[in-house]
Amino acid sequence: MITEKSKELYSKALGFMPGGVNSPVRAYGSVGRTPLFIESAKGSKIYDEDGNEFIDYVCSWGPNILGHCDPAVISAVTEACGRGLTFGACHKGEIRLAQLIQKHFPSMEMLRLVNSGTEAVMSAIRAARGYTGRDKIVKFEGCYHGHSDGLLVSAGSGLLTNSIPSSAGVPVGYTETTLLAKYNDESSVERLFDSDGGQIAAVIAEPCAANMGVVPPKKGFLEFLRKITEQYGAVLIFDEVITGFRLSIGGAQKFYGITPDLTTLGKIVGGGMPLAAYGGKREIMECVAPLGSVYQAGTLSGNPAAVAAGIATIEQLEARPEIYDELDKKSAEIERAMRSAGLNVNRCGSLLTAFFTDGNVTDYDTAKSADTKKYAEYFGYLLENGIYTAPSQFEAMFVSAAHSAEDIKHTCGVIENFR
């Protein structure tokens, strides 16, 4: 595979951006390669600057559930751009998108549109603190909720990829209200409520963890979180930035049948544009300014082009409900191929990870036991065979509606032959 143009561009980028990238995992640090520079993408395929074609299973880390350049989404965005890129004022698209979100996430009785998952989570936590008048939050090791200060402790995604336990530049005071629990371990949560119950504003969880690789919740774990938060008057926040509109059109909360108090959405809700949302119980959201005293604002919030992409994407998902069964079947085929290659696999719907571990992965510690050198080999092998996956053991593989039977057959054949 020739990657000369990517190499040349990367050496230029290194002079401008830390590590040559605008988000750390993209630097390919843990897979020992030079990042590919992407020239374009269409349907299930992505093309680099050297003209290499790949079947894309990163899907921009989740948003592209319909594949790249879905015609309805592109036309909605093009039309919206013609009417103005940003108004910094109210427009009717915001109401339409809010209606669509609420229809599929009825727990989001009121919501706010923001620009990124990080912003959505940061704001949801502030709302939970404002509502409860408490400061502490419980987060799970290996879950990643964006890069706001208080959440950069034992986080997944790029921190796990680059072995960063907690970020420099975060004053101790910002993380001392963050209590850590173990994913899938009820007793670790109970201990925190036993000692600090009256001060815990919220428990935040990825209802299916996908930033330490995919780690589904054990049976009863989410039910337990619902129960203990209710018992102590704490807010349960589901971070559905990855799972929202993916595990089902109503996200993980519909898939698992557990209703949180607050939800954060990102990725699919913006159809590939920078848009996210947070929302939940009316009485909590009424604490947000201008109704209440919890402040949160943004010039580009509800950006009309991003809103148009979100509306078009959700309308497509509504018009094609069969997508979810198809995603499940395609992902199950890939899972079978991974297992036949002797890999450990965690899958939840169209999210999956092949782990290079000896045993099952159920939490941060078992995820961290993965042989990342072997993963790097696997990543390189897939790439050389036309398959583009995350350059990190600790991310998900995303299957989209655009992946054809032929794509899946090729992918499975390649994976089965990995030794």
Binding site for ligand HOZ (CB under 6 A): 23, 25-26, 61, 157-158, 211, 395
Q: What are the structure tokens assigned to 227, written together?
A: 């129960």
Q: Closer to ligand HOZ at the Cβ: 11 or 23?
A: 23
Tokens 């590939």 correspond to: 272
Question: Smallest distance, Å, CB 407 to ligand HOZ?
Answer: 22
Tokens 């409520």 correspond to: 193
Question: Smallest distance, Å, CB 22 to ligand HOZ?
Answer: 8
Q: Closer to ligand HOZ at the Cβ: 23 or 360?
A: 23
Q: Closer to ligand HOZ at the Cβ: 201 or 215?
A: 215
144 is catalytic: yes
Q: How far apart are the first and last CA of the chain?
A: 20
Catalytic residue among 48, 239, 261, 407: 239
Q: What are the structure tokens assigned to 32, written together?
A: 């020992």
Question: Smallest distance, Å, CB 368 to ligand HOZ?
Answer: 16
Please tell me the distance from the alpha carbon of residue 157 to that of residue 395, in angstroms, as a whole number. 6
* φ, ψ dihedrals at 340, nearest 5°: -70, -20
Question: Smallest distance, Å, CB 20 to ligand HOZ?
Answer: 12
Q: Is the peptide bond before 18 cis (omega within 30 degrees of 0)?
A: no
* φ, ψ dihedrals at 3, nearest 5°: -135, 30
Q: Closer to ligand HOZ at the Cβ: 205 or 288?
A: 205
Catalytic residue among 10, 28, 57, 144: 144
Altogether, the residues listed in the chain come to a count of: 419
Catalytic residue among 136, 139, 267, 330: 267
Chain residue whose CB lies nearest ligand HOZ: 23
Please tell me the distance from the alpha carbon of residue 372 to that of residue 392, in angstroms, as a whole number. 8
Q: Closer to ligand HOZ at the Cβ: 142 or 158?
A: 158
239 is catalytic: yes
Continuous segment of H or E residues that includes residue 283: helix 282-285
Is-contact 48 37, C-beta < 8 A?
Answer: yes
Question: Smallest distance, Å, CB 139 to ligand HOZ?
Answer: 15
218 is catalytic: no
Point out the residues that are catalytic: 144, 239, 267
